Amino acid sequence: MSDFRELYQEIILDHSKSPRNFRPLVGATFDAEGFNPLCGDQVHVWLALDGDKVKDASFLGTGCAISKASASMMTQAVKGRSKKDTEALFTAFHRLVTGEAARAGDDPEALGKLAVFAGVSEFPVRVKCASLAWHTLKAALEGAKTPVSTE
Ligand code: ZN
């Protein structure tokens, strides 16, 4: 477990310091904004779909390391996925950070690197930080017109 914790801290630090796909997306087909008033995290997520496939994803945002790292890794994870696949990933990630996956015995390997966020489930306040970008992504895909709030 201590190796896991080290890996978790390393990955969160890396992605929060140099977030990937940290830019607005020209030619985006979907976008949405999200807020986590509890922590002050803000995120704007852009998606470019080509037919049913996510061709590109990006984000901009301010907030804590966990919210940034989660958004950064999410934009990497959804590229190349179908809309249905992206929604399935959202569900799997949500189950992971809420601890539901561990209770149900889901295979964490299915989430790849995102599995490091399992540690967040021990800190209820942080669950919203980790899932903010994902809720925003889902809202973007659903064509939400108003910003998402975790409250
Ligand atoms: Zn936060």
Query: So what's the pLDDT on residue 2?
Result: 66
- How far is ligand 1, taken at its centre, from the CA of residue 58, in Å? 19
The predicted-structure confidence for 67-124, as pLDDT tens digits, reads as follows 999 999 999 999 999 999 999 999 999 999 999 999 999 887 789 989 989 989 988 8
Residue 45 in any domain: the answer is yes
Distance 62 CA to ligand 1 centre (A): 9
Is 151 domain-assigned?
A: no
Ligand 1 mean position, distance from CA 38 (Å)? 8
Q: How many domains does the chain have?
A: 1
Would 139 be classed as within a structural domain?
A: yes
Q: Does residue 150 form part of some domain?
A: no
Domain span at residue 108 reads 2-145
Q: Residue 40 maps to which CATH number?
A: 3.90.1010.10
Q: What is the pTM of this model?
A: 0.94
What distance in angstroms lies between residue 131's CA and the mean position of ligand 1's atoms? 10
Residues across the chain: 151
Residue 43 belongs to a domain: yes
Mean pLDDT over each residue of the chain, to the nearest integer:
93
Give residue-wise pLDDT tens across range 36-76: 999 999 999 999 999 999 999 999 999 999 999 999 999 99
Ramachandran bin of 112, using left for φ above 0, alpha for ψ from -120 to 50, beta for the remaining angles: left
Burial label for 27, CB within 10 Å (0-12, 13-18, 19+), is: exposed
In-domain check, residue 116: yes
State the distance from the centre of ligand 1 to the C-alpha of 86, rounded, in angstroms.
Answer: 23
